[in-house]
Amino acid sequence: MAGVNAAWALIVLLGAAAAFVMRTLGLTFDWASALLPAAACIVLLIGAAFYRFRRPEPNIATALTGTAQLILFSAVGATLSYAVAAFATPYWDNRFAAWDHGLGLDWIAYLHFVESHPWLATVYGVTYASIRVQLIVATVVLGLTGNRAACRQFVVAVIVAGLVTVTVSAFMPAHSVFTELGLAARDYPGLDLTAAFDPLKPLTDLRTGTLRVVSLTGAEGIIAFPSFHAALGIIFAVAFWRSRWLRWPGLGLNATMIASTPVNGGHYFVDVVAGIAVAIAAVWAARAMDGVARPVARGSGPVACPAALASDSLPA
């Protein structure tokens, strides 16, 4: 299965799941909120078709297609994450906190360490908020530099990680560690805790039935376990490793983003560990779907590296 087809298939699966859950729970969708992402996807796909058929530039076509897929995935994935939250299964915070304790990890001590180093708090805030930019940059860089197979794999890995984290969150929900410990954002003015506190109201409203209309306008990331931020940190680092100029900056940026996740995202440490595990599985699954490990089908010369083989033998 070519990666581009895998991405579309996964997006359709996410959309079907979102529609089923929303219908089952009596939720409705604010279609007006989808107009902007839908318009962006249409423009990008028209551009991709132009560069694929009218003026063949497969690198540009791959980058445009991947960007459209990620925008659509973000919209569909956010909708599904809100829908499953309405199941209101019991919170797992007590167990996650116990698992942290069992691993000898002190969340409060880490919070105080970050708070006592303002420069670190600033760096953490910037890196934690970088995921949207990184999504676009990774897709464009991989596509335009000719790493078309890697670009397809990156998109599929992101979608697989999103599908897994949303599914798990339906059965193992949690809220911010700050809330669990009775801590308020105002007590930590030097920290950017937007992502730790802003999702709490829609999450609570969905669970209590107060919120019945799912809208993409102002949608928040409400998944706690596994951490999607941590998963993306690994996936981004793998993607940027393909670039000679971005591999080390990408590794440093995403190691820092993962480190920021417990504080800036209000995550338990086990959320991060689980997110990393999801990312490793997602990267493997994406490569398998893209046929990277397939045997050489033609010629008897030296075997090319897997990425180059996939890039040469698969459609962009």
Residue 290 has what pLDDT?
Answer: 81
CA–CA distance from 83 to each of 8, 88, 162, 276 (Å)? 21, 10, 14, 24
**What would the mean pLDDT of 263-292 be, rounded to a whole number?**
93
Q: Which of 61, 69, 70 is nearest to 146 (CA)?
A: 61
Question: How much is the pLDDT for 222?
Answer: 86
Q: Which residues of 9-45 are buried (b: 16+ CB within 10 A; e: fewer)?
A: ebbeebbebbeebbeebebebeeebbeebeeebeebb
88: phi > 0 → left, psi -120 to 50 → alpha, else beta; which?
left
Average pLDDT, integer, range 16-28: 96
Residue that is written with structure tokens 């059965």 in the block: 171
pLDDT of residue 253: 97
Q: State pLDDT tens for residues 40-84.
A: 999 999 999 999 999 999 999 999 999 999 999 999 999 999 999
- What's the confidence (pLDDT) of residue 268? 97
Of 287, 47, 281, nearest to 149 by C-alpha is: 287
pLDDT digits (tens, 9 = 90+) for 96-120: 999 999 999 999 999 999 999 999 9
Residues 6+ apart with CB under 8 A from 32: none
- For residue 299, pLDDT over 80 is answered with no
Tell if the pTM clears 0.95, that is, is over it: no
Alpha-carbon gap, residue 198 to 210, rounded angstroms: 16
CA 14, chain centre distance (Å): 14
Give the pLDDT score at 85: 94
Instruction: Work out the percent of the chain whose per-residue pLDDT is above 70.
Output: 91
How many Cβ atoms are within 10 Å of 244's Cβ, its own excluded?
8
Element (H, E) at 305: none
Q: Is the pLDDT of residue 5 over 90?
A: no
- Please state, for a pLDDT cut of 90, what percent of the chain lies above it: 85
**Residue 33: per-residue pLDDT:** 96
Strands (E), the chain: 28-29, 213-214
| 143: nearest Cα among 70, 68, 63, 64 | 63
| Section 175-202 average pLDDT | 92
Per-residue pLDDT, 266: 95
Tens digits of residue pLDDT in 123-167: 999 999 999 999 999 999 999 999 999 999 999 999 999 999 999
* pLDDT at residue 306, rounded to an integer: 35
Is residue 4 predicted with pLDDT exceeding 50? no
pLDDT score for 220: 82
How does the average pLDDT of the chain come out, rounded?
89
What DSSP string describes 210-256? ---EE-STT------SS-HHHHHHHHHHHHHTTSTTTHHHHHHHHHH
Handedness of CA 141, 39, 69, 237 (dihedral sign): positive
pLDDT value of residue 218: 85
Residue position matching structure tokens 């069992």: 102
Burial (CB count within 10 angstroms: exposed 0-12, middle 13-18, buried 19+), residue 229: buried
- Phi, psi at 190, each rounded to 5°: -85, 0
pLDDT at 183 over 90: yes
pLDDT of 204 above 80: yes
pLDDT at 294: 43
Residue 312 has pLDDT above 80, yes or no: no
Per DSSP, what are the bridge partners of residue 172?
none
